[in-house]
Chain A
Amino acid sequence: MLTFTLRRLLLAIPTLLFISLIIFLLVDLAPGSPMSEIPLTVPPEVRQKMIAALGADQPVFVRYILWLRQFFWVEPAYLLDGWFGTDLAGDQQRILSWQSRSPVFTVIGQRIPQTLTVIGTAYLVGILIAVPIGIYSAYRQYSLFDQLGTFVAMIGFSVPTFFTGTLFIIIFAVWLGWFPTKYDTTLEVTDWASFIRQMQQMAMPVMVLGLANAAAISRYMRSSMLENMGQDYVRTARAKGMTERTVVLKHVLRNSMIPVVTVIALGIPSIFGGAIITENLFGVNGIGAALIGAIHASDLPMVQTLAFIFAVLIVGFNLIADILYGFLDPRIRYD
Chain B
Amino acid sequence: MKLNSALLGAACAFAIAPAAFAERGTDGEVKLTFPQAVSIMNPYLSSGTKDIYAASMVIEPLAGFDDSGNLIPKLVSEIPTVENGGISEDLTSITWKLIPGLLWSDGSPVTSADVVFTGQYCMDPAGGCAQLSKFEGVASIEAVDETSIKVTFTGPKPNPYTAFVGATAPILQKAQFEACIGAAAPTCTDQNSMPVGTGAFKVTGFTVNDTVSMEANSNYRDPAKPAFATAVIKGGGDAEGSARAVMETGEFDYAWNTQIPPDSQAAMAAAGKGQFVVAFGTLVERLEMNMTNPSADLPEGERSTAMHPHPFLTDINVRTALSMAIDRDILREVGYGAGGKPTCNIVPAPAAYASDNTACLTQDIEGAKALLEASGWTDTDGDGIRDKDGAKLSILYQSTVNPIRQDFQALIKDWWSEIGVETELKAIDPGVFFGGDAGSPDTFQKFYADVEMYANNFDGTDPEAYLTQYKCDKAPSPENQWQGENMNRFCDPAYDAMVTELSSTRDPAKRAEMAKALNDMVTKDTRIVIPLVHRGTLSAHSNALGGVMINAWDTEMWNVADWFRVK
Residues of A within 8 A of B (CB): 31-33, 35-47, 49-54, 93, 96-97, 99-103, 106-107, 110-111, 169, 173-174, 177, 180-182, 184-186, 279-283, 285, 289-290, 293, 296-298
* Cross-chain contact of B211 among A37, A177, A185 (Cβ < 8 A): A185
What separation, in Å, do the CA atoms of A289 and B37 have in the docked complex? 10
B492 interface hit (Cβ, 8 Å): no
Contact yes or no, A41 B39, CB < 8 A: no
Q: A279–B244 Cα gap in the complex (Å)?
A: 16
User: How far is B46's CA from A180's CA once the two chains are assembled, in angstroms?
Assistant: 31
Contact, CB under 8 Å: A96 / B128: no
B208 touches A35 (CB 8 A): no
Which B185-211 residues sit within 8 Å CB-CB of chain A?
Answer: 185-189, 192-193, 205, 207-211
- Which residues in B have their C-beta under 8 angstroms from that of A281? 237-238, 241
Task: Given A35-B436, A44-B484, A96-B186, verify A110-B251 contact (CB < 8 Å).
Answer: no
**In this complex, what residue of A is CB-closest to B52?**
A39
Residue pair B236, A33 in contact (C-beta under 8 Å): no
| 29 A-B contact pairs sorted by A residue (CB < 8 Å) | A31-B431, A32-B437, A33-B431, A36-B430, A39-B49, A40-B456, A41-B133, A44-B436, A46-B133, A53-B128, A53-B183, A53-B185, A99-B39, A99-B46, A101-B185, A102-B193, A107-B209, A173-B249, A181-B251, A182-B33, A182-B252, A184-B234, A281-B237, A281-B241, A285-B207, A293-B37, A293-B209, A296-B431, A298-B431
- Closest CB in chain B relative to A37 CB, distance in Å: 6
What sequence of 0s and 1s flags, for each residue 111-131 of chain B, a beta carbon within 8 Å of any chain A beta carbon? 000000000000001111110
The 4 closest A-B pairs by CB, nearest first: A53-B128, A32-B431, A33-B435, A36-B435
Known A-B contacts: A102-B193, A173-B248, A281-B241. Give 15 more (CB < 8 A). A31-B429, A31-B440, A35-B435, A36-B436, A42-B133, A44-B484, A53-B185, A101-B186, A103-B189, A185-B210, A186-B213, A283-B33, A285-B209, A289-B209, A298-B431
A-B Cβ contacts below 8 A, count: 180
Please report B residues at the A interface, Cβ cutoff 8 Å. 33, 37, 39-40, 45-49, 125-130, 132-133, 183, 185-189, 192-193, 205, 207-211, 213, 232, 234-238, 241, 244-245, 248-249, 251-252, 271, 429-437, 440, 442, 456-459, 466, 483-485
Q: CB-CB < 8 A to A173: which residues of B? A: 244, 248-249
Q: Which residues of B contact A184 (CB under 8 A)?
A: 211, 234
Q: Chain B's interface: helix, strand, loop or mixed, by majority?
A: loop
Contacts of B130 in A (CB 8 A): 38, 42, 46, 50
A107 neighbours in B (Cβ, 8 Å) = 208-209
Complex Cα–Cα for A174 and B247 (A): 10
| Residue in contact with B187 in the complex, picked from A101, A169, A289, CB distance below 8 Å | A101
Q: A40, A110, A173, A280 — which one has the most chain B CB atoms within 10 A of its CB?
A: A40
Q: Do B209 and A290 touch (CB < 8 A)?
A: yes
A49 CB to closest chain B CB, in angstroms? 5
State the Cβ distance, B440 to closest chain A Cβ, in Å.
6
Q: How far is the CB of B259 from chain A (nearest CB, A)?
A: 16
Residues of A within 8 A of B210 (CB): 110-111, 185, 285
Closest to A173 in B: B249
A44 pairs with B47, CB closer than 8 A: no
| Other-chain contact of B234, A33, A50, A182, A297 (Cβ < 8 Å) | A182
* Contact partners of A280 in chain B: CB under 8 A: 236-238
Q: Is the CB of B435 within 8 A of A32?
A: yes
* Min C-beta distance of B377 to chain A, whole Å: 33
Contact B244 A174 (CB under 8 A): yes
How far apart are B55's CB and chain A's nearest CB, in angstroms? Answer: 13
- A186-B211 in contact (CB<8A): yes
A38-B431 in contact (CB<8A): no
Which residues of the other chain, B, contact A99 by a CB distance below 8 angstroms?
39-40, 46, 209
Q: Which residue on B lies nearest to A285, using beta carbons?
A: B210
Contact A285:B186 (CB < 8 A) given known A32-B429, A33-B431, A41-B458: no
Kindly state the separation between the CA atoms of A298 and B429 in the bound complex, as whole angstroms. 12
Contact B128 A54 (CB under 8 A): yes
Chain A: CB-nearest residue to B250: A177
Most chain A beta carbons < 10 A, residue from B47, B209, B237: B209
Q: Given A50-B130, A53-B128, A101-B187 in contact, is the A180-B251 Cβ separation under 8 Å?
A: yes
Contacting pair B432 A100 (CB below 8 A) = no
Q: With a CB–CB cut-off of 8 A, which chain B residues contact A42?
A: 47, 130, 133
What's the minimum C-beta distance from A46 to chain B, rounded to whole angstroms?
Answer: 4
Are B432's CB and A93's CB within 8 A?
no
Name the B residues within 8 Å of A97 (CB-CB). 39, 208
Cα–Cα, bound, A49→B128 (Å) = 5
In contact, B186 and A54 (Cβ under 8 angstroms): yes
B50's nearest neighbour on chain A, judged by CB, is A37
Q: Decide yes or no: A96 and B234 within 8 Å by CB, A53-B127, A174-B248, A185-B210 being known contacts.
A: no
The reply to whether A50 and B208 contact each other, CB–CB distance below 8 Å, is no
Q: B208's contact among A45, A100, A182, by CB below 8 Å, is which?
A: A100
- How far apart sit A173 and B251, CA to CA, in the bound complex (Å)? 10
Query: B132, A49: Cβ atoms under 8 Å?
Result: yes
A36 touches B431 (CB 8 A): yes
Q: Is the CB–CB distance between B249 and A50 below 8 Å?
A: no
A101 proximity list for chain B (CB < 8 A): 40, 45, 185-189, 192
- Docked complex Cα distance between A93 and B429 (Å): 32
Residues of chain B within 8 A of A110, CB atoms compared:
207-208, 210
User: Which of B207, B232, B458 has the most chain A CB within a 10 Å cutoff?
Assistant: B207
**Chain A nearest Cβ from B242, distance in angstroms:** 8
